[in-house]
């Protein structure tokens, strides 16, 4: 089976043609590197120097695709050219093959060739000087250095710069990819944060509106209907105000609007009073000191969502909110009556409440549990979150 050589690069074709034409021009005008009667010249016929010239031009076609093969054949051709009258074009093309072998060859060859040519340069300087003991013998080492070492060293320098540029380009692409991943994660995290904020702020008011509107429609009592409508209006106004504040924050990109203060545990009293207004029998037992702002916000939102769920799902009875601070944690516990029959809630929900509370707790590296508390009658639903107070949140403050 015939072996197909790789197609030469167009620049290599130009180099080969240019070198061949230059060599033919020098041959035509009769210029050679040595006289015909030089003792080194074994073949004085001027036509013989065309053979190394043509072979060297053919090697130039392989300088990029098969650099090691081209260098080996080119070395044989330049030695043969040395034994003829010699052509400057052949020597120049050989230096290019040496350069290309280091630049385009395998990494192992690129490392070895400069060392080999360096040793040859030293040998070409020391040995003739030791044999002939003439200063002119140093010219042999100079010629070897110019023909072999300098092209190899130049190729090694260019290759290092090229590899460094490729590595920096790859690093830049990786940095851009990481930045895009960070941006995507930041957008996703911000969307999740805004979804939690929107749910926690509005769900409580909408649940109260749904429950009281149902009561107003089902009872034919003007007094009860008027009271329900008052509660509906109050929750509607508060819900709209909080929604307007959130939308204002999202729309304002000028940086002139001062950020709204995040809820703190000092507002639990008002939160419980609102739950009582909506019909819950709530007891608050809060014992805590100064807490980090992210912990206070998470605890407030967990209590708020727990009261909303109690309003929608709990059986008649007392809802107990307890906050207990230990040395390095704050425990939030909300219990409400629970009949366990799986009946329909008094108001529709999205099912995102427990998910949001669990996410808030996870952002602070805390623990979260929700479910029947294990009492013998199984009639109590408990939400329990433990929030560390000494470790900052992983996801940032909200």
Least confident of 258-272, 343-357, 361-375: 343-357
CATH code for position 296: 3.30.565.10
Both 21 and 166 in one domain: the answer is yes
Strand 329-337 to strand 380-388: parallel, antiparallel, or no bridges (unpaired)? antiparallel
Please tell me the predicted confidence (pLDDT) of residue 368: 92
367 part of a folded domain? yes
Quick: pLDDT tens for 294-312. 888 889 889 988 888 887 7
Please tell me the predicted confidence (pLDDT) of residue 393: 47
- pLDDT of 373 over the 80 cut: no
d(CA 278, CA 345): 15
Both 62 and 133 in one domain: the answer is yes
The model's confidence at residue 347, banded by pLDDT at 50, 70 and 90, is low
| HEC letters along the chain | CCCCCCCCCHHHHHHHHHHHHHHHHHHHCCCCCCCCCCCCCCCCCHHHHHHHHHHHHHHHCCCCCCHHHHHHHHHHHHHHHHCCCCCHHHHHHHHHHHHHHHHHCCHHHHHHHHHHHHHHHHHHHHHHHHHHCCHHHHHHHHHHHHHHHHHHHHHHHHHHHHHHHHHHHHHHHHHHHHHHHHHHHHHHHHHHHHHHHHHHHHHHHHHHHHHHHHHHHHCCCHHHHHHHHHHHHHHHHHHHHHHHHHHHHHHCCCCCCCCCCCCCHHHHHHHHHHHHHCCCEEEEEEECCCCCHHHHHHHHHHHHHHHHHHHHHCCCCEEEEEEEECCCEEEEEEEEECCCCCCCCCCCCCCCHHHHHHHHHHHCCCEEEEEECCCCCCCEEEEEEEEECCCCCCCCCC
The model's confidence at residue 317, banded by pLDDT at 50, 70 and 90, is confident
Q: Which of 254, 276, 302 is the last residue of a domain?
A: 254
Q: How large is the average pLDDT for residues 356-366?
A: 86
Both 26 and 161 in one domain: the answer is yes
Q: Looking at per-residue confidence, does 280 or 13 come out higher? A: 13
177 part of a folded domain? no
Q: How large is the average pLDDT for residues 126-144?
A: 82
The torsion angles phi and psi of 382, rounded to 5 degrees, stand at -125, 135
2 part of a folded domain? no
Both 165 and 19 in one domain: the answer is yes
d(CA 128, CA 124): 6
Both 25 and 158 in one domain: the answer is yes
Q: Which of 254, 278, 312 is the last residue of a domain?
A: 254
The model's confidence at residue 255, banded by pLDDT at 50, 70 and 90, is low
Please tell me the predicted confidence (pLDDT) of residue 151: 94
The torsion angles phi and psi of 182, rounded to 5 degrees, stand at -60, -40
The model's confidence at residue 364, banded by pLDDT at 50, 70 and 90, is confident
Q: Which of 233, 254, 275 is the last residue of a domain?
A: 254
pLDDT over 90 percentage in the chain:
26
Both 30 and 158 in one domain: the answer is yes
Spell out the long-range contacts of 138-147 with Cβ–Cβ below 8 A and sequence spacing 24 or more.
Answer: 144/117, 144/120, 145/121, 146/95, 147/78, 147/91, 147/94, 147/95, 147/98
Both 189 and 165 in one domain: the answer is no
Quick: pLDDT tens for 16-66. 999 999 988 888 787 766 655 665 665 666 677 788 899 999 999 999 999
Please tell me the predicted confidence (pLDDT) of residue 397: 42
d(CA 65, CA 71): 12
Give the domain extent around 89: 10-170
244 part of a folded domain? yes
Q: How large is the average pLDDT for residues 244-264?
A: 62
d(CA 103, CA 153): 10
- pLDDT of 107 over the 80 cut: yes
d(CA 89, CA 87): 5
Both 152 and 15 in one domain: the answer is yes
Q: How large is the average pLDDT for residues 203-207?
A: 67
Per the structure, the count of domains in the chain is: 3
- pLDDT of 81 over the 70 cut: yes
- pLDDT of 392 over the 60 cut: no
- pLDDT of 12 over the 80 cut: yes
Both 69 and 187 in one domain: the answer is no
The model's confidence at residue 396, banded by pLDDT at 50, 70 and 90, is very low
Please tell me the predicted confidence (pLDDT) of residue 220: 65
Q: Looking at per-residue confidence, does 219 or 291 come out higher? A: 291
289 part of a folded domain? yes
5 part of a folded domain? no
Please tell me the predicted confidence (pLDDT) of residue 38: 61
Both 249 and 272 in one domain: the answer is no
Q: What is the largest CA-CA distance in the chain?
A: 133
Both 237 and 158 in one domain: the answer is no
Please tell me the predicted confidence (pLDDT) of residue 137: 75
- pLDDT of 203 over the 50 cut: yes
Both 247 and 382 in one domain: the answer is no
Least confident of 81-85, 107-111, 334-338, 344-348: 344-348
- pLDDT of 398 over the 50 cut: no
CATH code for position 187: 1.10.287
């Amino acid at each position: 089976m015939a072996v197909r050589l790789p197609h030469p690069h167009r620049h290599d074709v130009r180099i080969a043609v240019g070198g061949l034409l230059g060599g033919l021009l020098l041959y035509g005008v009769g210029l050679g590197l040595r006289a015909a009667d030089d003792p080194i010249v074994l073949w004085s016929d001027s036509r013989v120097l065309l053979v190394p010239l043509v072979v060297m031009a053919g090697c130039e076609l392989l300088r990029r695709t098969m650099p090691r093969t081209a260098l080996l054949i080119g070395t044989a051709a330049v030695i043969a050219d040395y034994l003829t009258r010699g052509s400057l074009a052949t020597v120049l093309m050989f230096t290019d093959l040496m350069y290309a072998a280091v630049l385009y060859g395998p990494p192992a060859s690129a490392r070895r060739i400069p060392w080999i040519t360096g040793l040859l340069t030293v040998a070409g300087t020391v040995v003739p000087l030791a044999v002939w003991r003439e200063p002119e013998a140093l010219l042999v080492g100079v010629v070897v250095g110019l023909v072999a070492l300098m092209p190899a060293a130049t190729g090694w320098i260019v290759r290092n710069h090229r590899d460094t540029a490729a590595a920096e380009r790859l690093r830049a692409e990786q940095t851009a990819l990481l930045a895009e991943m960070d941006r995507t994660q930041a957008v996703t995290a911000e969307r999740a944060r805004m979804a939690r904020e929107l749910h926690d702020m509005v769900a409580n008011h909408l649940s109260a509106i749904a429950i009281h509107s149902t009561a107003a429609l089902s009872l034919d009592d003007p007094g009860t209907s008027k009271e329900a409508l008052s509660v509906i209006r109050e929750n509607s106004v508060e819900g709209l105000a909080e929604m307007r504040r959130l939308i204002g924050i999202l729309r304002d990109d000028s940086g002139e609007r001062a950020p709204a203060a995040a809820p703190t545990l000092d507002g639990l009293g008002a939160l419980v009073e609102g739950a009582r207004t909506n019909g819950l029998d709530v007891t608050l037992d809060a014992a805590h000191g100064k807490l980090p702002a992210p912990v206070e916000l998470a605890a407030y939102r967990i209590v708020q969502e727990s009261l909303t769920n109690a309003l929608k799902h709990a059986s008649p009875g007392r809802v107990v909110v307890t906050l207990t601070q230990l040395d390095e944690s704050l425990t939030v516990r909300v219990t409400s009556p629970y009949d366990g029959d799986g009946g329909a809630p008094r108001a529709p929900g999205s099912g995102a409440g427990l998910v949001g509370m669990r996410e808030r707790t996870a952002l602070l590296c805390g623990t979260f549990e929700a479910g029947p508390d294990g009492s013998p009658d199984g009639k109590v639903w408990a939400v329990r979150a433990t929030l560390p107070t000494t470790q900052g949140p992983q996801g940032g403050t909200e």
